[in-house]
Amino acid sequence: MSHEIEHDVGGGGILANKTLWLCIGISIFLIVAFAVPTPHSIVEIVEKYGFAERMEEWEIAENKEEAAKKTMIVLGIIPMAVIFFATEAIPIGLTGILMPTLAYFLHLLPSHSIGKTFAGDAPMFLLGVLAMGVAVVDVGLHKRLATWLLGWTKGFWVPVFVLCVSMSVVGSFISAHAMCAFMTPVMMAVYFGSVSANTRGGQVVHDPALAKFLLFALCFALNVGGVGSPAAGGRNVIMMGFWSEYNVPMDFFTWMKYGLPLVPILGVVVALYMMILFGRQIKTKDLTPGLAAIKDETKRMGKMVYAEYVTLGMLLVILFLWIVGGEELGLGGPSLLALLIPVIFKTTDWKKILNGISWDAWFMYCGALTLGALLKESGAAMWLAKTFLEILGAVGMDKGFGLWVGLSGLSGLITNFMSDAGTTALLGPIVVPMGIMTGVPGEPWATGLAVAFATSFAHFLIVGTPNNAIVYGLGTYPDTGEKVIHPADFIKYGFVLFLLSMAVVWVVGFLFVYNIVGFPEHVLETATKVLESGVK
């Protein structure tokens, strides 16, 4: 059988000139890092908040001026990394490796801590999730998952809306990253069955727009589910911890009253946006053949066999350990079982797992973690946050709706460059006291929710969330193995959705849900007493 793939401009046009973007990225880095004078505000930040002192203890800077210069170098790395990740001026995995390389040779972090960004809990988690996807596909379990979830749907609109709404709701309560690993192969199986139905003369004519449509719909729907409950991610739990420090804790179901009403609306927005974005480009507008083909294959597979039971059991065990394991196991520990169990129980060959893992995606994500550590430890993230908050105050957005919009916008932008948990950990200690000092009832909760909600919208950079890395790594054409998504596609298709997601939170969340649900009167009073007493 011959194959034909029509390539779109995912990396075409001016984006295809890799030498140009390599030169632009390096030039911007050199100018910001070494040519632009260090602003006095950066010197003040690194001195006031202890960044300079810490760098001196680490022996990577001798005084506050030298520490501030390290911060400028990190600020120069940011645009270069974004350009390289988006344009693939160098291979995306190599860009990830570039981050710790610069940290080592420019002495931006202690050498013993740089390697931890590549060997911590998060890298092990992503490695396990990618292996999990390989194991699920190898035993054919993804076909049964497709039949269970979408087998009853027909046509085009119904499957897409069921997918987006169900995945956004599911992503509010269980690991969105795990669902992304399970469902990415499912989407590609549905895709391949649908385009194969139009095959004439044994030649498969691919429909790249449909493939991108299905993968991005899945990824973005799972992303937006993060606002629904504290179970959706560590960043929500981190924010709840900051409230507890001010004696105004929020329980699980109270969070759901504010966040869960937004989830199905965001799921519908994702579906409509993807329809409008890809509608005219998609040639295969009937998913029924793909769904039917998977149902038929599932029937031919007969009853579940040993390999499927082992793989399903592995998934359930890992999900259980993610839920109950807590800080002792983290996410990485249970995830590594996806590397061990298939081999030990002889359901998937070890070499097949190694060959199936997208190492490009893994190195890319690890590099993003290094960049996040650099932003946090150098004071660059703090400086960016403080600068933005000063701008908000200058334009009168220092309380109420204006403050919520500004803080959520800042949080949403930052979370595309560093982890959602890192963003919340950075901004939480700033925004909760800000909410208290406004004197507006409920503001400590309102500002915290605004920041936490926005961390779910890491749509426009591939490094923004593991979901993006997973669909990039596992999203390949079944017959050729070629990747469906280009890194630049996240900016191309994700930025507008980022703005739409923020608009839903601003309008539906802040103007309606906040007002309908309301905030307890005691929140401001209790938190104010704690702040004034100096007890945190």
Q: Are residues 57 and 131 in the same domain?
A: no
Q: Are residues 246 and 257 in the same domain?
A: no
Task: Choose one of 321, 356, 391: the last residue of a domain.
Answer: 356
Q: Are residues 239 and 257 in the same domain?
A: no
> By residue range, what is the domain housing residue 256?
121-231+252-356
Domain count within the chain: 2
Q: Are residues 76 and 225 in the same domain?
A: no
- Give strand pairing partners of 483: 476
Q: Which amino acid is at 452?
A: A
Q: Are residues 258 and 345 in the same domain?
A: yes
Q: Are residues 245 and 107 in the same domain?
A: yes
DSSP letters spanning 454-486? HTT---SSTTS-HHHHHHHHH-B-TTT--BS--
Are 161 and 292 contacting, i.e. CB atoms less than 8 angstroms apart? Answer: no
Kindly tell me the sign of the dihedral angle through the C-alpha atoms of 56, 61, 65, 68: negative
Q: Are residues 166 and 215 in the same domain?
A: yes
Q: Are residues 418 and 515 in the same domain?
A: yes
Give 29-52 pLDDT, tens digit per residue. 999 999 999 999 999 989 988 889
Residue 142 CA to residue 185 CA, distance in Å, equals 6
Are 248 and 523 contacting, i.e. CB atoms less than 8 angstroms apart? Answer: yes
Q: Please tell me the number of Cα atoms within 13 Å of 281 on its side-chain side.
A: 17
Q: What is the pLDDT of residue 201?
A: 63
Residue 493 CA to residue 281 CA, distance in Å, equals 14
Q: Mean pLDDT for each consecutive 10-residue tract of the chain (536 residues)? A: 43 69 94 94 89 90 92 92 83 89 93 82 81 84 78 88 92 80 87 83 83 96 92 77 84 90 97 93 89 83 89 87 73 87 94 87 81 83 79 81 92 84 77 81 91 93 86 89 90 95 97 93 86 58
Q: Which amino acid is at 332?
A: G
Q: Which amino acid is at 166?
A: S
Q: Are residues 140 and 14 in the same domain?
A: no
Give 390-407 pLDDT, tens digit per residue. 888 788 787 889 999 999
Q: Which two tokens stand for residue 151?
A: 């087998």
Rg of the chain taking only CA atoms, in angstroms = 24
DSSP letters spanning 185-222? HHHHHHHHHHHHTT-BTTEEE--HHHHHHHHHHHHHHH
φ and ψ at residue 246, rounded to 5 degrees: -105, 20
Q: What is the pLDDT of residue 14?
A: 64
- Roughly how many angstroms between the first and final C-alpha of the chain, as a whole number? 67
Are 163 and 150 contacting, i.e. CB atoms less than 8 angstroms apart? Answer: yes
CB neighbour list of residue 4: distance below 8 Å, 6 or more residues apart: 203, 204, 205, 206
Q: Are residues 416 and 528 in the same domain?
A: yes
Task: Choose one of 298, 328, 356: the last residue of a domain.
Answer: 356
Q: Are residues 139 and 285 in the same domain?
A: yes
Q: What is the pLDDT of residue 16?
A: 67
Q: Is-above-0.95 flag for pTM?
A: no
Q: Are residues 350 and 401 in the same domain?
A: no
Task: Choose one of 309, 328, 356: the last residue of a domain.
Answer: 356
Q: How far is CA 135 from CA 178, 348, 360, 472, in A?
A: 13, 6, 19, 17
